[in-house]
Structure 1
Amino acid sequence: MRTWQKSLAVLKNGNSRFIQNKVNNILHHDLELLSEAQNPYAVILCCSDSRVSPDIIFDRGLGDLFVIQNAGNVCDTSVFGSIQYAIQFLKTPLIIVLGHTGCGAVTAAHNHKRMKGPLQSIVSLIDKHIVDGSVLDSTENHTLETAKTLSSALNLHQDKFEQELKVIPAIYNISSGYISWMDIDKEALSIPDH
């Protein structure tokens, strides 16, 4: 069984290769093996922004990541259910909440924009995480608070899972490719732009 520590090391090494333009896992896959089962290293909750592609930025192949994407990487019932599936049935030990620079959904919430239709429900989920300061400050806080919510929910049920679970918030810089890892136990701090 994979540990969250080993899974995190795989992701950090993959992001390092991505930044150096030395990716090597994207095209490597065994369709026959993948058709039998999946065994992902991590769950990645991230934004559906087309510039945020976890398989690429972590240099992983098919079957390596259990990716949940929606605008603003918000957490609702469908996200909780998807995460439950990954940790309960796939024994995935690591959940990454991945915010990113230049997020349109967080920017809309930060600027108090009101949307029509379903977009407003997404912005409303982000509203409670908005802080004074820059959009990046709000992005960091939204990512951190979403990770805290997930971690609290999972801690209530840790005894039901075989594996030790860890939730880690992070910010992806779409300009540099760097992932800045955050500490879930601390307040959001300003993250360098690299």
Structure 2
Amino acid sequence: MSEVRTPRDAWNAMKQGNARFVEGAPRHPRQNVDRRNELAHTQTPIAALFGCSDSRLAAEIIFDMGLGDLFVIRNAGQVISDSVIGSIEYAVAVLDVPLIIVLAHDECGAVRAAIDSTGIDAPTLPVHIWKHIAPIVPAVRRVMRSGAVTVPEAVDAEEVGREHLRDTVADLLHSSDLISEAVREGRLAIVGANYRLAQGAVVPAVAVGLPEES
């Protein structure tokens, strides 16, 4: 996608691909033998995408992209870690991507697990699962306080997901001087968005460093 050069170009290309997917008219571009051969020794993705591992969140499909278009990092609940930051820094510093997308979604199991873990009688989770979802719990607590909610069953999971998405974007900027500097210089933008499972639509919720369309 040689026409993609700026953060705005990259986001527009992603929006257009998602629109095709929502309409049920994907083009499945750049997925042939010639493209495969072209990429054998190099890659120039237009964006790095950090999203949830949920099986319904296949990035290249929902954005109607092809081989070599996206540099994808995923884990359950899109939780920031050193390995995630290092992978995204590689995409920015070495692959020169102009855009990072942080992609959350509705009906997220990791968000649900974080909510349920706050219950008084919540069962003990396996240690690695607990360590993984623990960074989502502050978002749960804030939503509970703002709504004067005292039991997990009454917590709005969608609001927790939105809070956690904002936290993730903020943590990414705070944790990486390389990424925050690229944003300040206008070489990089970050878009935090929610994917709607039933509709197939990607809905932006927060954007950093993304200039307005001219």
TM-score range, shorter chain: 0.7 to 0.9
Residue 12 to residue 160, structure 1, CA distance change in 2 (3 Å):
closer
Q: What is the CA distance between 1:129 and its match in structure 2?
A: 2.1
Residue 179 of structure 1, aligned match among 197, 202, 207: 202
Q: With the length of structure 1 as denominator, give the TM-score of the two structures.
A: 0.87
Q: What is the CA distance between 1:111 and its match in structure 2?
A: 2.0
Which residue is equivalent to 1:126?
136
Query: Aligned partners of 2:30 and 2:47: how far apart in 1?
Result: 19
Which residue is equivalent to 1:152?
174
Query: Aligned partners of 2:82 and 2:23: how far apart in 1?
Result: 37
Instruction: Give the match's secondary structure for 1:35.
Output: coil
- 1:118-174 Cα shifts (integer Å, max 9, x gaps): 111111121122223400000011011101121334466516998611111100011
Which residue is equivalent to 1:103?
108
CA contact (8 A) 1:91 1:163 kept: no
Unpaired segments ≥5 residues, structure 2 = 145-154, 209-214
One-letter identity of the residue aligned with 1:120: W
2:51 matched to 1:46? yes
Any residues of structure 2 matched to 1:27-46 within 5 Å, and which? 28-29=31-32, 30-46=35-51
CA RMSD in angstroms, aligned pairs only: 2.2
Any residues of structure 2 matched to 1:13-24 within 5 Å, and which? 13-24=16-27
Which residue is equivalent to 1:192?
none
CA contact (8 A) 1:97 1:143 kept: yes
Structure 1 vs Structure 2: percent identity of aligned residues? 35
Unpaired segments ≥5 residues, structure 1 = 186-194
Residue 115 to residue 34, structure 1, CA distance change in 2 (3 Å):
same
